[in-house]
Structure 1
Amino acid sequence: MSELGRVLRLDARRAALLLAVPLLAGIGIVTAWRSLVPGVGYWDNSVVALINSVRLLGPVAAGLAAWTAVRERGLNYLRDLSPRSPATGALLDLLLLAGAAALAYGAVTVVVTVETMLRQEAGHPYPLGLLAGTASLVLHVVIGYLAGRAVPRPATVVAVAALTWLWAALRPPGTSWWSLLPPAALDRVELFTVLRTSVLADQTVWAMGVTAALVLAYVGWVTRRRAVAVPMVLALLVTGNAMAGLQGSGGSAVVPAPVRLACREWPLTVCVHPALRSALPALMAATTPLATRLSGTPGEFNRVVQRPATEPATVAGGTASIHLDDELSPGYEVRAVRQIMRSLADTQACASPRNPGYRALVDAWLLGRAAPPITDMRTARRFGQWTEEQRRGWLRTHYADYRSCALAARDFRLSVTPRPADAPRPSPRPLKPRRADGLPK
């Protein structure tokens, strides 16, 4: 019993491995943080960042587990003195190492979750995503530790870390279904798309199945019991079924999904993806002047809606469709207005415009910018002297030519000429008194 107590004390002393938790947590936080979309709180991308962090966190955890197994090989003779099963010590080590890795991954999850909640988050968190990342990390720990037990050499630590890193690095995201095997390589989730929960479930089952098969194989090898072959085969069958599910996904972990947009109603109706609702004030301020100047023309709109990048930007039926950057990089509102402007042009007719200077002159006014220099200075001067109301009336009359890039100098001459400012009229002279015959007195 004294030898058993000594072994138990040695096992408990190995709790110092928890010092590896800050190291793993720090690596995971840095990796996940770099994968997050700046300024956007989209839960799907937060889950992707957590899953992708295992691609670097996993090899480190596998190397630490292999190092632990190699370092503790000198204690094997003490375990042999106890009445415990020869597999008990290794299972306790695996339990401790897996718990440390899961604790570190939990710290990474907390940081990513807080960062997402501090933003104007959209979408829904995926518990399966957290489970998939944890299962993948535990699999790395099991692979590293069992490799260190099988080949207790210092070179094993380097080999395990290098091979697990190569397994992750050589599978870039979006290439094939192989990239979905843990540790998965997932692309950033674009707005108006969501993660497929079936893929996350298959990843979790695959990692847990491989982990169970490896542990059972090791127990059977150490204890020489054939009974573990049955659950090991079942674990492999479950793993194969999960692999078939990942293969059937076609290598894609996302699917398009309808989204309830976030809107602002006045003076226009501007709607964007909920993750980008912070863009509403700037978009409202940028599109309202353009909508006012286009009122009464076939290109008028009173509604601006963000659409997926796969759909064209158009102006039809009073609605202007635009695209926005997921990161809301500087100048996004200007680019949105230019998308609306491009939608107003006839693509085929404007491929070879008669005189691009005239359309540029009108475009500058619509965008609220200074008029560009053109060769016809007289027309530019005349257009510059018109009032805002006169320009809007002129555009309603000549919108077809503007849209087809067919404006000419005569279009500006034939327009309603601007009236001079109203000057006070001289008061009429008082009439002189007249005689009965009509002559002045």
Structure 2
Amino acid sequence: MGKTCIMKIMERAAGRSVQVGDRVWCKVDLASARDFGGANCVLQFEQEMGRDAKVWDPDKVAFTFDLQAPSHSEKVSNNQKIIREFAKRQGISYLFDINHGIGQHVMLEAGLVKPGNVILGTDSHMNLLGAVGAFATGVGNSDVAAAYIKGISWFRVPETMKIIVKGSFPKGVCMRDLLTKIVGDLGAGGMDYLAVEFVGETIEKASLAERITLCSMITEMSGKVPLIMPNGAVLDWLVERAGEEVLERVKMLSADKNAEYCKVLEYDVSTLEPMASCPDAPDNVKPVREVAGVHVDQVHIGSCSNGRYEDIKAAHDVLMAMGGKVNLDTRVIITPSTTEVQMQCIHEGLVFDFLKAGIVFTNPTCALCTAEHYGALPSGDVGVATNNRNFIGKVGKGSHTYLLSPMSAMATAVNGQITDPRDYLN
């Protein structure tokens, strides 16, 4: 029987043949930590190894300041200082400070992510880097600190699910709606420690932004890692950033035609409609039309799921189609994923239109994925977001959040109530 993508990736990292269920030690290509948790990684490493100890390879260690950037408290500032000083002592050049954006996206843009890479990170959604064929996974601070010592970590080889996607999205419907549909169908445990390969004509034509979106909530289904091997424009983009080695890796690590899968699902997006994750769980999914009319106090567009330029442009298109103004009683915040995305939005004139419409356009961060950022919801308020989680109190105690696509979120922002964007797009 042939090999799946994850089996080939883990064989490369382990230096031996593997089978599903094996426990294997894998070489780590990149160990990353955020400002949230990164200081603990540093302190644990130095407590175990001593302050003068060196990491196994400073060129394979990265820090990203994305959760609280700029810092909003002395505690956060001190933690960031610990990381900065450690990076300087260790000769670590990949320190992406407060002026860069969301870690996974920033490392992608910097060319640090290649198909087949084994990447550890202190972010539970690190696995969205599977959008370019990397085995990235969120781990605890101790796992990252341990990787600093010898550059290895152990894993169990997972089974693989395959999801085949065909068709073209109708107007007003996008990859986020497909993702929400899948989360609703499979539920919070539907991918328990599985790898999942996304294939099919829709995936082959998908942009990098769409692939990131599709991979961004595998964690919400308890999945281990999503995997999409780069092709077309995405492959060209990645080669430009990460080098020609990417081409050979795609050939070497793509799944065999006779690979064995534990489950195969098929979706046709041509019949899909806008979908919503309703309070208070990502898998509480309903069509937007069933919750249309619900009053909304605040809308947030951004996050690692939907903060790319294409996401923000889709929201902008809806805004302009609906008159260019948001509801006076609805607070609206847009957060780009990276500085590169932010500059593109400025260059294309989107930011001027957003500000004129009454929208707050922020610096690039993880922003309102948690209540630890500006814009937290007060008790009793209802929010709409393009984030990947909407657990009760996630962005404010006593508040509730619906998760929508950028298009549905902007239509909601204009009307002040949950709105199907198809009603306003010709």
Is the pair's TM-score, using the shorter chain for normalization, greater than 0.5? Answer: no
- If asked which structure has higher relative contact order (CA below 8 Å, sep 6+), I would say 2
The two structures have a TM-score, normalised by structure 1, of 0.22
Structure ranking higher in helix proportion: 1
